[in-house]
Amino acid sequence: MSDKPINIGIIGMGTVGGGVTELFATQAQTYAKRIGKPVQVSKVLVLNVAEVPADRKEHIADGVLTDNADDFWSSDFEILIELMGGTGAAYTFVKKALEAGKHIVTANKALLAKHGHELFGLAHKNNVSIAFEASCGGGIPCITALKYGLMANQIGGLYGILNGTCNYILTEMTQKNKTYDVALKEAQEKGFAEADPYLDVSGADTAQKLSILASLAFGVHIEGSQVEHIGVDILDLQDIQFGAELGYDIKLLGTAERKEENGPVSVKTQPCFVHKSDLIANVHGPMNALSVYGHAVGHTMYYGAGAGRYPTASAVVSDALNIASGWYGAAFAQMNLTPDCNDPAELVAKEDIESRYYLRFNALDVPGVIAKVTTILGNKDISIAAVMQHESNPGEFTPIVITTHDAKQGDLDSAITEIEALKEIDGNLVSIRIAEFASDS
């Protein structure tokens, strides 16, 4: 075993940062045995040392914690762990470290979704690597699975629950019939949701993670801004209840599919109905899961905590150890993430994405109204799978639910416009995707 330690610098000391320093301090001997050399945190940069909570300082040696940037950058560390988040200062610091020949470990999905292509190229130019397992699934090793565990496969598609906040809210709405507002408030009280929950509940967080996973799965470049996202904040409890009657649970899914090798990729984040028999329908509370289909292996699924102090710290520290061991450098080079190896993705146009759909509308209970709706759908080449209507009183508005077979999004949008224009229809029509993985059909 070498006596010379691998020095690590950390920027940011939030919840995850505290977990990272604790693991390095308490597991130092174990890690040294595993990789054949000691690893130590030599410098930690924060905005204000005085504001760092005592429990996060507990495992940091004297003289390591600093709020002096010059002191931090003049220290001798080989690996930078970026834990500050965002795309502003984090981008500047990561770029500076790469140009100085330092390896990067980050959990920052927003940074990679926006600047990943550039930063991967800069890492390659300077013969260093970027490890980012914690950016997409917290403690779930989904990136390792995609790039190494499934290397023998052509990836046909993936879909996942990638945001624990949304999954907690939907679990409460589904299992306890809570409204969205009530479930969100409880998620905030329990620490599962931020005071400003927009990034989570809008689907933007999931879209950023999906762009990274889809880029890895299909060997193309997809930016987070290219992934359309619809959030859970638009959901009505009655649709969840109707879905349950039809045998479905609802989940916020990030989905990416490629039907032909080297063909266009479809990517989208939105609430989807999934059949109760599907494994992913049974992922509850703040847990995450990712299902990946490979042409040789078939379906695989990865499940675990997608956020939190220790799950995320587990992935961050594992990345740092893989770099320190010398293993990760060659593996990173084989990811083909650099601009010269990774072309911009050809994406399936939104209007051409095909799926089954759940439709709900309030219709006047008079003869012929369902016939008018089905005629409009038929004229758009949309085939009906089922119709559900509860008993109602003639002359009153009543909710009607229709499920469709596969239909193009553009055809459905056009049909919805015509249906909403009917005098017998009150208000807006609700449409929710019914998720069926490409290989399931």
Give 137-175 pLDDT, tens digit per residue: 889 999 999 988 999 999 999 999 999 999 999 999 999
What are the backbone dihedrals phi and psi of residue 146, each rounded to the nearest 5 degrees, phi first? -65, -45
- Given a cut of 50, whether residue 441 has pLDDT beyond it is no
Residues annotated as binding site for L-homoserine? Answer: 194
pLDDT score at 142: 94
Q: Tell me how far apart the alpha carbons of residues 90 and 259 are, in angstroms, rounded to a whole number.
A: 36
Per-residue pLDDT reduced to its tens digit, 418-430: 999 999 999 899 9
Per-residue pLDDT reduced to its tens digit, 79-129: 999 999 999 999 999 999 999 999 999 999 999 999 998 999 999 999 999
Q: Tell me how far apart the alpha carbons of residues 183 and 169 are, in angstroms, rounded to a whole number.
A: 5
Residues annotated as binding site for NADP(+)? Answer: 11-18
| SS percent in the chain: helix, strand, coil, step 5 | 40, 25, 35
Residues annotated as binding site? Answer: 11-18, 109, 194
Distances (CA, A) of 116 to 85, 94, 108, 321, 337: 14, 11, 10, 22, 9
- Given a cut of 60, whether residue 438 has pLDDT beyond it is no
Domains identified in the chain and CATH numbers: 6-132 (3.40.50.720), 142-305 (3.30.360.10), 352-434 (3.30.70.260)
- Given a cut of 80, whether residue 210 has pLDDT beyond it is yes
> Whole-angstrom distance between the N-terminal and C-terminal Cα of the chain?
53
Question: Which of 43, 102, 114, 209 is labelled catalytic?
Answer: 209
If you average pLDDT over residues 323-351, what whole number do you get?
Answer: 83
Which 3 state secondary structure label does DSSP give 142?
Answer: helix
Q: Tell me how far apart the alpha carbons of residues 283 and 290 are, in angstroms, rounded to a whole number.
A: 10
Q: Is there a contact between 12 and 85 (Cβ–Cβ < 8 Å)? A: yes
pLDDT score at 437: 66
- Given a cut of 90, whether residue 339 has pLDDT beyond it is no
Residue keyed to tokens 């924060």 = 46
DSSP 307-358: SSHHHHHHHHHHHHHHHHTT-HHHHHHTT--STTT-PBPPBPPGGG-EEEEE
Q: Is there a contact between 306 and 138 (Cβ–Cβ < 8 Å)? A: yes
Q: Is there a contact between 363 and 396 (Cβ–Cβ < 8 Å)? A: no
Q: Tell me how far apart the alpha carbons of residues 428 and 63 are, in angstroms, rounded to a whole number.
A: 62
Q: Is there a contact between 133 and 143 (Cβ–Cβ < 8 Å)? A: yes
Please tell me the total number of residues recorded for the chain in this structure.
Answer: 441
Catalytic-residue membership of 209: yes
User: pLDDT tier at 1 (50, 70, 90 boundaries)?
Assistant: low
